[in-house]
Amino acid sequence: MPGQKSAAKSATPQLKDKTLEAIAEYIKEEKVNRIVVLTGAGISTAAGIPDFRSKGTGLYDNLQKYNLPYPEAIFDIDYFMEKPEPFYTLAKEIYPGKFYPTKTHYFIKLLHDKGLLLRNFTQNIDTLERLTKLPEDMIVEAHGSFATASCVECHKAADESFVRQHVTKGSVARCKDCDGLVKPDITFFGENLPERFHSQLEDLDMADMLIVIGTSLKVQPFASLIDRVSDTVPRLLINKEIAGVHRSAKSGFDFRWKYGKRDVAHLGDCDTSVEELAALLGWKDELNTMYKTGNEKLKAQWAAESVSIPEPEIQDGEIDALADDLEKRLKVPEDKKESDEKTPKM
């Protein structure tokens, strides 16, 4: 039941030290098999998708061209209802279909294949977890994702190809039934989190290890998930900088081991760090093979899907009409002399 933490080991974990080696040793010796992984935007930056808050390179730092009243407005439901164009322009840049999963994504899939993963809670909307073939029931997209879309008025599901066409053009999609705005099922500021997020919270009560990767842990309620696991559960943070630290026995990470020997912070690049952990577990070759073959298959699949579809035939009369219209728009000169007169001198 939610709130009960009896499923985890009753003895206080005793990590040997605050290292990745100690975490790997604990996984092997304690027969850990209910790992919950929390992930954020940092695991997708290696795929070419910017995170939100990194100074200089983060998404919120590079939205000036959209003339927003404030950076977060691009994901604000009230602003979207009033002015959806900026979101659709941005969506064209980050929409799934051109970004490949990173080694961190495949590491999570490897945990599943080894029978060690209980659930992956992710803040990311990019669907890269799905592309590794990690089963959908193992993923909790806490803030929704681009995987589906629906009308904000009648809530009817929108066809994925229809939405993709509009996003590709940077144009706003509207519902075919009621003409309401169509929005990918991403949780905007001002909207409730998906029901699945709430229904799977009991996974944290059952966890026997928590691994947090690539998140600043600044957005609630996701940030508070680290406090839901039992006090007996080891917790690993893999991130470029310290995150989630609070001065309380019941709130936040305790990397100083003031309250127990269970929290470890491994600072650095996400992919490099998980590769180190995989090596310590004896999985490095498997991870590298999975990463290479998985993305090669995706590349081939996307190449096949991008094969151009023959354009519909146009009748001669239509061609003449199009040609006349084009001449008028371009003001095509009637002869070479006129053309020479209008050609700018370099």
- Residue 52 in tokens: 């939100």
DSSP secondary structure letters along 153-174: TT-PBPPHHHHHHHHHHT---B
Mark out the alpha helices in 46-113 (DSSP H runs).
Answer: 77-82, 85-94, 103-113
Q: Which of 112, 143, 166, 266 is catalytic?
A: 143
CA distances from 66 to 84, 87, 117, 166, 232 (A): 11, 9, 40, 18, 47
Q: Is residue 274 a contact partner of residue 280, using CB atoms and an 8 Å limit?
A: no
Looking at the chain, the number of H-run helices and the number of E-run strands are: 12, 8
246 is known as an active-site residue:
no
Own/partner pairs, 57-64, CB within 8 angstroms, 24+ separation: 63/90
Measured distance CA(264)–CA(15) in Å, rounded: 9
What amino acid positions are annotated as catalytic residues? 143
